[in-house]
Amino acid sequence: MLKLENVQSGYGNKLAIKEVSLEINEGEIITLIGANGAGKSTTLMTICGVVACRAGSVKFQEREIHKMAPDEIVKLGICQVPEGRHIFPQLTVKENLDMGAFLRNDTEEIKKDRDYVYSLFPILAERRHQDGGNLSGGEQQMLAMSRALMARPKLLLLDEPSMGLAPLVIKQIFEIIKQINKESNTTIFLVEQNANQALHIADRGYVMETGRITLSGPAQELLANTDIQKAYLGI
Ligand code: ATP
């Protein structure tokens, strides 16, 4: 579904990712793990066209997308939930969800999708008239994911959904990521520092160090790898 080949990108004269190659098949949950500053967010932003791809190629469903503008990439079915959520704080929960459906005009289907995200996160239904800015961190993460789902993405890019959240909320968010993947057949690319939880829900994983992929494989293999255990799992 998505293929990066020898991708390079960065900021000013600094290359943040160097010759990154990876593949995501339809229906998979793939995780990209790595330390602070490894280049994980830059990888996601390069896929979305927000950071320019300087070399190599990004293909989505056999189509080259690395020269396309971010809005064109969204229209193809790729949606990102950015690190830090970036919900609209002065809009209500419902209005935030409407913003996710901005490119659609199938009113009945939009309503169905809104009901679906409310069923995933009942707390959002309860708070639908409340301003997004007044939600807790966990609820804002739920809202950011729900807003992205309102665009009916084929590929959902999640940047550190667990960041700053309490363990119980993290558990709930990861369970729902799995549920979204299964129920709505949404392919998921999950960037996480919480390697343990991410690898437990993923099919495969990639490890990134200083802008390069250094290891990849089935999630179970990575979980059993002693170097990964020492470096990322605190075992
Ligand atoms: P984290 O988990 O801390 O978010 P990351 O793995 O997502 O880290 P990136 O945010 O992609 O890493 O950062 C990769 C490198 O690019 C880092 O050295 C970072 O300092 C640098 N970088 C990121 N954003 C910018 C920017 N807007 N301008 C300049 N350098 C940046």
Note whether 161 and 227 are same-domain residues. Answer: yes
Please spell the DSSP secondary structure of 130-147, one letter per residue: SBGGGS-HHHHHHHHHHH
Record the tokens describing residue 77, joined without a space: 């079915």
Note whether 117 and 8 are same-domain residues. Answer: no
Percent of the chain exceeding pLDDT 70 equals 100
Beta bridge partners of 11: 14
Protein residue with its CA nearest to atom 29 in ligand 1: 11
In this structure, what CATH number is given to the domain that contains residue 213? Answer: 3.40.50.300
Residue with tokens 């896929």: 47
76 close to 65: Cβ distance less than 8 angstroms: yes
Note whether 6 and 26 are same-domain residues. Answer: yes
First to last CA, the chain: 34
Protein residue with its CA nearest to atom 31 in ligand 1: 11
Is 82 inside a domain boundary? no
Is 84 inside a domain boundary? no
Range of the domain at 211: 2-77+153-233
Distance between CA atoms of 142 and 29, rounded to whole angstroms?
18
Note whether 229 and 157 are same-domain residues. Answer: yes
Domains held by the chain: number: 2
What are the CA-CA distances from residue 166 to residues 112, 139, 171, 195 (Å)?
A: 30, 12, 9, 16
Is 83 inside a domain boundary? no
On the 0-12 / 13-18 / 19+ scale of CB atoms within 10 A, 125 is middle
139 pLDDT above the threshold of 90: yes
Q: Is 207 touching ligand 1 by the criterion CB < 6 Å? A: no
Distance between CA atoms of 77 and 122, rounded to whole angstroms?
25
SS (H, E, C) 18-36: EEEEEEECCCCEEEEEECC
Q: Mean pLDDT throughout 22-29?
A: 97
13 pLDDT above the threshold of 80: yes
Distance between CA atoms of 188 and 48, rounded to whole angstroms?
14
For the chain, what is the mean pLDDT? 94
Protein residue with its CA nearest to atom 11 in ligand 1: 39
Q: How confident is the model at residue 164, as a pLDDT?
A: 86
Q: How confident is the model at residue 233, as a pLDDT?
A: 83
Longest dimension (CA), the chain: 51
Note whether 228 and 172 are same-domain residues. Answer: yes
Q: Is 16 touching ligand 1 by the criterion CB < 6 Å? A: yes
Is 172 inside a domain boundary? yes
Note whether 31 and 124 are same-domain residues. Answer: no
* pLDDT per position as a tens digit, 41-71: 999 999 999 999 999 999 999 999 999 999 9
Note whether 12 and 100 are same-domain residues. Answer: no
Ligand 1 center to 191 CA (angstroms) = 13
Percent of the chain exceeding pLDDT 90 equals 88
Residue with tokens 């409310």: 118
* pLDDT per position as a tens digit, 191-235: 998 899 999 999 999 999 999 999 999 999 999 999 999 888 876
For residue 17, which atom of ligand 1 is closest to its CA?
Answer: 14
For residue 42, which atom of ligand 1 is closest to its CA?
Answer: 11
For residue 208, which atom of ligand 1 is closest to its CA?
Answer: 6
Is 207 inside a domain boundary? yes
